[in-house]
Structure 1
C-alpha cells in the first residue's frame, strides 16, 4: 500500500492494541504495521469528512462480488451490528480506516483477498 493513511490518535492506539493482542492474521498484521508506521496522526476535530474513521457512515463496494453496502463505524465497545453500528476493527473497517472517498484497497480475509472501493464517507451526527 503506497498511500499514507490518516488516523486520529485514538484509532491509531486502538489498532495498535488490536495488533498487540494478536487479533489479526499474520498477513493482516504486516499490512497494518506498515500502515501505522507511515500513518499521519491528527486530532479528531481536524479529520476531513471524506476519511474513513470512527463515527463515519461509509458506502463500500466490494469489487470481487460487485456488492455495495453501507456501514456505520464505531469503536468496538459501541458495536451493535443489528443496528448497523459496526466495529472499526472488523475486516472492512481495518481495510478502509484512514483512506478516503475514491480509494481502492485490498484486504486479506479468510475467503481470500477482497478488494474494496470507498464510494462515500459522511460524518454520523
Structure 2
C-alpha cells in the first residue's frame, strides 16, 4: 500500500455526488473552521465524483467501518461512519460530517491524512475500510 499525504495530493479523493453535496452544504452552513473550509474546498475542487455503485470498496464514505492509526498518539481506532441524522453515540456510530469523518471521507486504505483533531494537528493513516450492508 502506498502512503500519500492528502495535502500534497488533493486530487486523489473520490466522493459520491451525494456526499459532495452534503459537504458543500455543511460548509455553507458554517459548521467548520476557516482552516477546515479552505482544505475542504480545495479537496472538493479536485475530487472525483462517481455514482455510489462505481465508488471503490476501499474508499471512506457513509456506511463504512474504518480502522485508522493516529500516528501522533500511536492509537488505532475504529469508526463506523453514517449520515449525520443516523449518528448515535450509544450505537457507536459517527457522523461522516464529524472531524474524523471529514478528515477521511473520500480517502482510501493506505492514505495518510494530516488534520486537526481535538485541537491537535494529527497524522492519521487509514488501515482498513469495510462497507456495511
Q: TM-score, normalised by structure 2?
A: 0.90
Name the CA distance, whole Å, in 2 between partners of 1:63 and 1:12. 28
Q: TM-score, normalised by structure 1?
A: 0.96
Q: Aligned-pair distance for 1:111?
A: 1.8
Conserved? CA contact 2:67–2:129, under 8 Å: yes
In structure 2, stretches of 5+ residues that fail to align are 1-6
Conserved? CA contact 2:10–2:42, under 8 Å: no
After TM superposition, the structure 1 stretch with the greater mean CA deviation from structure 2, 104-113 or 35-44, is 104-113
In structure 2, the partner of 1:50 is 58
Question: Mapping of 1:24-43 within 5 angstroms?
Answer: 24-43=32-51
In structure 1, stretches of 5+ residues that fail to align are none
Q: CA deviation digits over 1:32-74, x for unaligned, max 9?
A: 0000000000011111110000011100111110111111101
Q: Aligned-pair distance for 1:97?
A: 0.5
What root-mean-square deviation, in Å, do the aligned CA atoms of Structure 1 and Structure 2 show? Answer: 1.0
Name the CA distance, whole Å, in 1 between partners of 2:33 and 2:10. 22
Pairing 1:123–2:97 present: no
Name the CA distance, whole Å, in 1 between partners of 2:75 and 2:89. 18
In structure 2, the partner of 1:18 is 26
Pairing 1:95–2:103 present: yes
- Following TM superposition, where does structure 1 have runs of at least 4 consecutive aligned residues deviating by more than 3 angstroms? none
Q: Aligned-pair distance for 1:80?
A: 0.9
* Matched positions, count: 125
